[in-house]
Each structure stands twice: as structure tokens, then as C-alpha cells.
Amino acid sequence: MTEPPFVPAQGRDGVTGFVSIVGSGPGDPELLTLKAVARLRLADAVLYDDLSAGAILDHARPAAELVAVGKRAGRPSPKQAHVSRLLIDYAATGARVVRLKSGDPTVFGRLEEEISALTAAGVRFEVIPGVTSATAAAAAAAMPLTRRLTARRVQFITGHDTAGGLPSDLNLAALADPLAVTVVFMPKRHFPELADMLAAHGLPGDTPALLAENVSHTDQVLVRDTVAGLARRLGGARLETPALVLYGPLAEENND
């Protein structure tokens, strides 16, 4: 949207509210952007993901309504249609609404569904980017996602589809490319299966890999291993914490 946010203006069908879809980053409140903080300070209502809770919500206006709408694997979660309906209903009252999403809204964040619903309802909106957990994990491990000559491409994939299984349409040839860094979001349940498929497409089992859990939180855990090693570690792992797996030509740990 090109119009200034939070200015009294009328959208289609008389809707005067405004929705800011805001990336909150991976969880550390110091990784919020200045624009994200500004929107939280003005919001009448904040609809937030589980990973956007805690100290991040301290930036919200004291009078703002705080509504938890997060989705977590294996737990009861609001349906996306319900979340979109809430955004529209709040905007219909003229409210300044923040839809607070973990990481960056454009990366596996169900952004398209919410934009489609808002557009159909004539609600004005904006999208504010955030720090994605992939770049936060690389920063925490003090390594680049790209490397001159050996890692000229980065690819992001999700480790499960809408039904909870490993996506059936993965481009395994691309994912087994030894010159690409691959980031697997939500990998824990199916990474062993994915590792077997990658091996069958030629990716060496000793390809460097990083497991990053609770990125940017005080209980962050970084485990350097290989693709085969992480597959063994994650076999039967409980799905208690958010995690990423990065693999490919990763930089070696700096012990200086």
C-alpha cells in the first residue's frame, strides 16, 4: 500500500480501519524494526503469533487489545479463516490493527491468505518486513548464508505441508545441489526422511549442517553436525521448540 498508515481514511465499503502486517523477527525484542515498534505503540488491537509474545508485546500501547492467534505444530490452533475474519472485524470498527507475525511475514507466514481476505473486504493494509529466523540463525552461528565461489544460491523450504507431511513436490535435484545453502523451516518431524531422499539424489551424508533451536532466545541451541548426523539426532525427536536446519557449504566454526 502506498498511503500513509493509521491515517483516518476510508477504504472500500466505508471501512475506516487499517491493518499493519508486521514481522516481529525470531523472538529477541531487540531485533524488532523501528517501524514495527512504532506500529505497536499506536495499535488499538494486536493479533499475535506464539513466537511474537513475551517482551515483544511490551511495546504495544497499554490500552491495546492483545489477541493470541498463533499456530504451533501438534497443538490446537486457530484456523486461518478465523484469523482473517478477526482482522476484518477489527478493521470494520475503525481500529488500527497490528497482525504480528514471527520472523518475516513473507516467509512461510500465510501472508497471502490474509492479504486476499483484507483485499476482498476492502480493508487498507501494509506489510512491514522482519528479521527472518534463517538470517538470525546464520548470524548467531557467525557464518554467512552465501559464500563466494562455493555457495552462490540460498533456498528456503518448509519441512511439512498443510497436512503435516513432508511436501511431495520438492525439487530434490535442487535440494541436493552441493553448491547451494538450504534452509529447512519446521524440519524436526521429517528431516530424517528428507535426508534419505537427498542421499538418494547424490548429496553426501557428510555435508555440513546446522540445527538451530529457539533462535535469538536466551535458551538458543546451535548444533553443528552433518546432514546424516542431524538425521540421526532428529529421529524420533519431540516437537517442543521451533527449529531450523541449514545445510550445504557452510562456513566452519570460528574458534579464534
Catalytic residues: 49, 71, 186
Query: Phi and psi dihedrals of 77, rounded to 5?
Result: -140, 150
- Cross-strand partners of 19: 97, 125
